Amino acid sequence: MWQKLKEFSRKDPLIFTLILAVIIVVGGYGSLQMMHATSKPEFCKTCHPKEAVEVRGEYYSFRKGIHSEVGVGCLDCHGAPGIQGYLDAHVVAGMRSLYHEIFTSEEDVIKHLTEYGTDPKAAAHGASLDSCVFCHSDDFNRKIRRNTMIKVLGEFRPIDDVVNPEYREKFGRPDIMKEGPIGVNPDHLKHYQAGVTCFDCHLGIGHAGVKNHKPKMETCFKCHDENRNVAKVPANDNCAVCHTMQKGVQQGTYSKSVKGDAWYMADLQCSDCHADTATLPTPETCASCHDASYSDIMKETQSAYVQKLAQAKSTRDKYAAQIKGMPAGKLAVYNEMKNILRILENDGSKGIHNPEYFDMMFDKVTELATAIDTWTPPVEKVEEHAQQKKHEEPKEEAKPAGPVNTAEDMAMLEGSETINLAERHVPAPTKPAVIFDHKGHAERVACADCHSEPGVLKFEVKEVKGTKNVFHDELCIKCHKERKAKTSCNTCHKK
């Protein structure tokens, strides 16, 4: 059809334009209905129809991005918030598009569109910065709502109903101007104030056609190199200033909902393992400080991690399919799970930066899954509930009501109330010796949990060396995991 119109318009441009003007004034401008119909992404598709991630394929790439998944439409980004922004996007930009569609050669259209898609300055020409901050920050949202007429009659666009913090919290997303994102933290507010736009870093957020769209490290470095002399920007080799996530993971403090311990390699600099930004550590890297067996530790840690991650992802995806219409309280639990998975997926070391901390996150995912399944709306009489809980609590905390082992058995512990296990079994210790509280354990768990008969352990102890040893795997850590007792290294290896 456009082909025909184009032919017609070329033959008789004046008449064509007149007819068009009449159609628009009578049919379009006058009718809100028409406006709404032409706001829908499906309408834009008529002229942006390609089935590929490239110019003219904007509908297709939009569909593959994260925003379309949550109901954000073309005009939510391509028009500023409020009535004025809506009309501008519709009438002014709409007319311009129509004009170009008819009078501009396809070659030039492609040239223009390519520029809008690849140059941050030109991108700002098409997409609205105000709309980005409207949805992604609380202060800007409030300010724009106060100073701008948002809507009068009826429903215009999804963005008109965005009120923060409620909106972004529905997705478990941070206020980017106040909190760091999950991942590399650039300090959004400082960049905004320095005139760096969203597109300088997030170019492609609209149409790269991927869900997890991150800025590239080269983007940061290029601009910082250029700005070195005029602004205070971090040095490229100061990894941890930007990589707050990897640093926080090493410290066991990164996740808001899972508190862990510092990894015993937390004091290593990033550059101790990462020779530079471009090369990744390999199993040989471990062997450069440790003996060769540590290469296997890396491989084993990573392959175990990959399996656990696959499991956790499928748990999340199961609930992701159920979030439509989920009550707010339950949704908050889901979002907590979603954000833990974002850490697990984006850290990138497949477990190496802090295996224990990651394990706690995997456990938390399972725990949250149960919490979603058993979630009930909060009851009105909160106080009564709390009191009930108070009654139950001491019971849970208390040690088992009666002794676990007979007095006769307990008597056998005489002389071995505590045992220095390192002295007995570790010829070349690298960690502080474990002084085992034999009696303390016998008060809590049965002799038979550890012994096949008194004095004989359930397994044979050969020389103990490295973290893959029989005490860890067959006794201490094995049971601690099952009974949810502490498993961080310094629980047992006390300095």
270 to 289, contacts with ligand HEC by CB under 6 A? 270-274, 277, 280-281, 285-286, 288-289
| Candidate list 80, 85, 127, 252; residue touching ligand HEC; CB under 6 A | 127
Smallest gap from residue 482 Cβ to ligand HEC (A)? 7
Closer to ligand HEC by CB, 198 or 258: give it: 198
| Candidate list 9, 74, 164, 252; residue touching ligand HEC; CB under 6 A | 74
Closer to ligand HEC by CB, 10 or 216: give it: 216
Distant-in-sequence, close-in-space partners of 452: CB < 8 Å, separation ≥ 6 = 458
Smallest gap from residue 492 Cβ to ligand HEC (A)? 3
Q: Which 140-179 residues touch ligand HEC, going by CB under 6 A?
A: 158-159, 162, 171, 173-174, 176
Backbone angles phi, psi at 366, to 5 degrees: -60, -45
Smallest gap from residue 15 Cβ to ligand HEC (A)? 19
Whole-angstrom Cα distance, residue 264 to residue 480?
Answer: 19
Closer to ligand HEC by CB, 118 or 311: give it: 118
Contact between 117 and 123 under an 8 Å Cβ cutoff? The reply is yes
Residue 457 in 3-state DSSP?
A: strand
Whole-angstrom Cα distance, residue 260 to residue 489?
Answer: 11
What would the 3-class secondary structure string for 462-481 be? CCCCCCCCHHHHHHHHHHHH
Q: Which 94-123 residues touch ligand HEC, going by CB under 6 A?
A: 96-98, 100-101, 104, 109, 112-113, 116-117, 123
Closer to ligand HEC by CB, 9 or 315: give it: 9
Smallest gap from residue 355 Cβ to ligand HEC (A)? 7
DSSP state of 419: E
Q: With binding defined as CB under 6 A, does residue 294 bind ligand HEC? A: yes
Q: Which 26-55 residues touch ligand HEC, going by CB under 6 A?
A: 38-39, 41, 43-44, 46-48, 55
Q: With binding defined as CB under 6 A, does residue 483 bind ligand HEC? A: yes
| CB-CB neighbours of 475 under 10 Å | 19
Smallest gap from residue 361 Cβ to ligand HEC (A)? 16
Q: With binding defined as CB under 6 A, does residue 330 bind ligand HEC? A: no
Q: With binding defined as CB under 6 A, does residue 426 bind ligand HEC? A: yes
Residue type, 65: G
Q: With binding defined as CB under 6 A, does residue 361 bind ligand HEC? A: no
Q: With binding defined as CB under 6 A, does residue 476 bind ligand HEC? A: yes
Whole-angstrom Cα distance, residue 136 to residue 73?
Answer: 15
**Long-range contacts formed by 274-283: CB under 8 A, 24+ apart:** 274/239, 277/217, 277/236, 277/237, 277/239, 281/352
Closer to ligand HEC by CB, 315 or 469: give it: 469
Residue 122: burial class (beta carbons within 10 Å; 0-12, 13-18, 19+)? middle
Smallest gap from residue 391 Cβ to ligand HEC (A)? 21
| Candidate list 9, 85, 86, 132; residue touching ligand HEC; CB under 6 A | 132
Helices (H) and strands (E) in the chain, counts: 32, 4
Backbone angles phi, psi at 69, to 5 degrees: -60, -30
Chain centroid to Cα 197, Å, comes to 22
Q: Which 191-250 residues touch ligand HEC, going by CB under 6 A?
A: 191-192, 194, 196, 198-207, 211-217, 219-220, 223-224, 227, 231-234, 236-243, 246-247, 250
Nearest residue to ligand HEC, scored by beta-carbon proximity: 183
Closer to ligand HEC by CB, 241 or 326: give it: 241
Smallest gap from residue 370 Cβ to ligand HEC (A)? 20
Smallest gap from residue 146 Cβ to ligand HEC (A)? 18
Beta bridge mates, 451: 457
Q: With binding defined as CB under 6 A, does residue 431 bind ligand HEC? A: yes
The binding track of 382-421 with respect to ligand HEC, each residue x by CB under 6 A or -, is: -----------------------x---xx-xx--x--x-x
Residue 36: burial class (beta carbons within 10 Å; 0-12, 13-18, 19+)? middle
Q: What is the DSSP string of 52-83?
A: SSSTT-HHHHHHHSHHHHTT--HHHHSS-SSH
